[in-house]
Structure 1
Amino acid sequence: MRSGTQSLKLQTWFSDKSHVPTRITFRENAVSPNDFWYDWYGLNSWLFVLVNGSHPARLDGLMEGLSTLSHPSAFPLYIAIALVACHARPRACPPVNLVVFAVSYVLVSMLLVPGLKEAFDFPRPIEALGAGAVRVIGHPDPHHAFPSGHAAFAVLATASLLPGAAPVTKVALILFALLACVSRIWVGAHYPADVLGGALIALATAAFTRAAIKRLAR
């Protein structure tokens, strides 16, 4: 019953054209395109409720910490760690990985994600569903939900630094990306669609950047 009510609230928000960004068009008396690609006909909000409202509180601190560590502002820290790792073990951390990470960071965290957030201007869960329906940990922003900048950055770091890494490092990077994505839903900051969108943007950009660098190096 609770998930149905929250899904209805989210659908109501999208049906109100006064909240909709001008770059998205909706047809009167018809199903909104967002019901399909964003809310997945209620599945998006249902999954949010499942993760955000049905998790053990003892893990809240861990998830909040992972959420903080996946903030794009942590880029200097991660690039510094990667530089040290590449210097210590060049074979396990090819220099091209650092270039991919740096270039993709500019494209994703400084250009694509901020631009898409402004363009879509989708509501955060607390804005769409109400404070009583969302379990908030920390202080998530109330606006610009799609795509998730934290998820994009965590996946970007993993996609950039994964090639050539030692098996243990690969596992650690993948776990970091996955848990960081889950943490954004856990703390009440994003819907699964926001996280998925950020992750896909990061993966596509890292792949494009790596391919472009290889082409230029020929």
Structure 2
Amino acid sequence: MRLRSRLGALDRRVFAAVADARLPGLERLLPALSRAADHSLLWAGVAGGCALSGRAPLRRAATRGLLAIGVASPTVNLVCKRFFGRSRPSLEGFPLARLIRVPASTSFPSGHSASAAAFATAVAMEAPLPVAAPVTLLAAAVCFSRVYTGVHYPGDVFAGAGVGVAAGVLTRRLWPAVRLLRAARIRGMAPGNAVNEAEDD
């Protein structure tokens, strides 16, 4: 109980420092980014762009990203939030100009962070670095925005991101990544036609 109390106090102190911060140039951008990620619309848009690119790796990245969100989002919103039931942070004394609509759901873990991390993790398995890196940075910005706008504690965000990463990794069980198949082929562990079929998607 003592450790839990200390972690809770640290969580609240970090929240207060972030929510009370002044970040010139980001005062409007981060709330807008946070709103854009509502209902995973931001990630659906990124997935749509990848799908329309005409490149097989990006189409696979889009599909895997949405699949990962399909695992992470219900896990957090339908299971974890109901189980833990943590209240949202108190915004008393913090700048209300940055305040976005506070969700009615409980706080732990963060659903936005889970979806962001799930999508970024899944995309990184398929997409080349010039695409995967910006998506990862965008996901990190969404996670940070949830604390900055005052709707989540940092602990909520880290827990949500952890669920998201796990969901992204889990998609390998549901649909092996081409990179994994190629590596297995090199080691003589996978038939060559499996890779060829995957690369022709």
With normalisation by structure 2, the TM-score equals 0.76
Using the TM superposition, give the Cα deviation of residue 143 of structure 1 relative to its aligned residue in structure 2, in angstroms.
Answer: 4.4
- Give the corresponding residue for 1:65: 32
Q: 1:113 aligns with which of 56, 72, 77?
A: 77
Q: Deviations over 1:33-59 (max 9, x none)?
A: 7426xxx15211111111111223642
Using the TM superposition, give the Cα deviation of residue 79 of structure 1 relative to its aligned residue in structure 2, in angstroms.
Answer: 3.1
- Counterpart amino acid of residue 45 in structure 1: R
With over 3 angstroms needed to count, the CA separation of the structure-2 counterparts of 1:133 and 1:108, relative to structure 1, is: same
8 Å Cα contact 1:113/1:198 also seen in 2: no
Task: Map 1:1-218; keep pairs closer than 5 Å.
Answer: 31=1, 34-35=4-5, 40-56=7-23, 58-74=25-41, 75-85=43-53, 88-91=54-57, 93=58, 95=60, 97-126=61-90, 131-136=91-96, 137-141=99-103, 143-214=105-176
Q: Distance in 1 between matches of 2:102 and 2:13?
A: 20
Q: Deviations over 1:176-211 (max 9, x none)?
A: 011111100000010000000110000011101213
Using the TM superposition, give the Cα deviation of residue 118 of structure 1 relative to its aligned residue in structure 2, in angstroms.
Answer: 1.3
Give the match's secondary structure for 1:200.
helix
Unaligned 5+ segments in structure 1 are 1-30
Give the match's secondary structure for 1:207.
helix
CA RMSD for the aligned pairs? 2.5
Identity %: 22
Unaligned 5+ segments in structure 2 are 182-189, 191-201
Give the match's secondary structure for 1:162.
helix
8 Å Cα contact 1:100/1:160 also seen in 2: yes
Using the TM superposition, give the Cα deviation of residue 175 of structure 1 relative to its aligned residue in structure 2, in angstroms.
Answer: 1.0
8 Å Cα contact 1:156/1:203 also seen in 2: yes
Q: Distance in 2 between matches of 1:101 and 1:49?
A: 32
With over 3 angstroms needed to count, the CA separation of the structure-2 counterparts of 1:180 and 1:205, relative to structure 1, is: same
Q: Distance in 2 between matches of 1:214 and 1:165?
A: 14
8 Å Cα contact 1:71/1:149 also seen in 2: no
